[in-house]
């Protein structure tokens, strides 16, 4: 039973590592079980707990810089949304600002700041303001009570949090791009 559980836990490793070492690891564990090694299963679980995150870190470092940045942006967005949903609003807002910085870095790496930045930064600002205005109109204006009772409070709260978070990220990214564009202009002029 434990050998079968160990084989299932091997699937937690990244695919490349699992293909290369999975069979040997399973064979080693099976041999330890047959030899009745003391605490073999606990030792194997401890090893898995230490090596699985490390193997994912190595797999991440082997990817391209753009892929790493995309993964970081997604991870940061998940942390921000989770923080806001759990009630750690200040932490969530700070993480949203970090997300805006990461998006600015992605746009800068892709060359957006050179050719289209004169338009992009204010488009992001307007998009953020538009999302906020839409959320405000939908959820803050005094609509008839019959309309308000149709939407559950939890759904409304979640939609407002996502909308406000999106508008903060868009506005902050637009501001960062605008400041970056201004710095590039000053540097080239001087």
Q: What does the pLDDT look like over 59-112, one tens digit per residue?
A: 877 877 767 766 777 777 777 777 777 777 777 777 777 777 777 777 666 664
Quick one: 55 and 74 in the same domain?
no
Quick one: 139 and 79 in the same domain?
yes
What is the domain range of residue 173?
A: 65-189
pLDDT of residue 22: 85
CB 152 within 8 A of CB 71: no
pLDDT of residue 66: 65
- Give the tens place of pLDDT for each residue, 107-131: 666 664 444 445 677 787 888 888 8
pLDDT of residue 1: 67
- In this predicted structure, the answer to whether residue 58 has a pLDDT above a threshold of 80 is yes
Quick one: 105 and 69 in the same domain?
yes
Look at 15 and 119; give whichever has higher pLDDT: 15
Question: What is the residue whose two structure tokens read 């084989």?
Answer: 7
Quick one: 31 and 87 in the same domain?
no
Quick one: 6 and 29 in the same domain?
yes
Question: Residue 75 is encoded by which pair of tokens?
Answer: 């991870």
pLDDT of residue 110: 64
User: Quick one: average pLDDT of 48-54?
Assistant: 87
Taking all residues of the chain, what is their mean pLDDT, rounded to a whole number?
A: 78
- Give the tens place of pLDDT for each residue, 22-50: 888 888 888 888 888 778 788 888 888 88
- In this predicted structure, the answer to whether residue 180 has a pLDDT above a threshold of 80 is no
Q: What domain count does the chain have? A: 2
Look at 21 and 86; give whichever has higher pLDDT: 21
pLDDT of residue 113: 46
- In this predicted structure, the answer to whether residue 169 has a pLDDT above a threshold of 60 is yes
Quick one: 133 and 173 in the same domain?
yes
CB 113 within 8 A of CB 177: yes
Quick one: 146 and 113 in the same domain?
yes
Of 27, 61, 95, which residue sits at a domain end?
61
């Amino acid at each position: 039973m434990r050998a079968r559980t160990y084989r299932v836990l091997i699937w937690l490793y990244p695919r490349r590592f699992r293909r290369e070492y999975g069979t040997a690891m399973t064979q080693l564990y099976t041999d330890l079980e047959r030899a009745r090694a003391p605490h073999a299963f606990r030792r194997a679980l401890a090893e898995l707990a230490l090596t699985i995150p490390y193997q994912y870190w190595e797999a991440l470092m082997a990817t391209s810089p753009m892929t790493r940045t995309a993964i970081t942006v997604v991870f940061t967005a998940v942390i921000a949304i989770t923080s806001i949903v759990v009630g750690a609003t200040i932490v969530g807002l700070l993480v949203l600002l970090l997300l805006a910085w990461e998006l600015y870095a992605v746009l800068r790496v892709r060359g957006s700041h050179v050719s289209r930045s004169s338009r992009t930064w204010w488009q992001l600002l307007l998009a953020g303001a538009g999302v906020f205005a839409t959320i405000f109109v939908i959820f803050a204006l005094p609509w008839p009570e019959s309309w308000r009772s149709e939407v559950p409070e939890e759904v409304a709260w979640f939609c407002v949090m996502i909308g406000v978070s999106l508008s903060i990220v868009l506005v902050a990214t637009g501001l960062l791009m605008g400041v970056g564009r201004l710095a590039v202009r000053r540097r080239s002029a001087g």
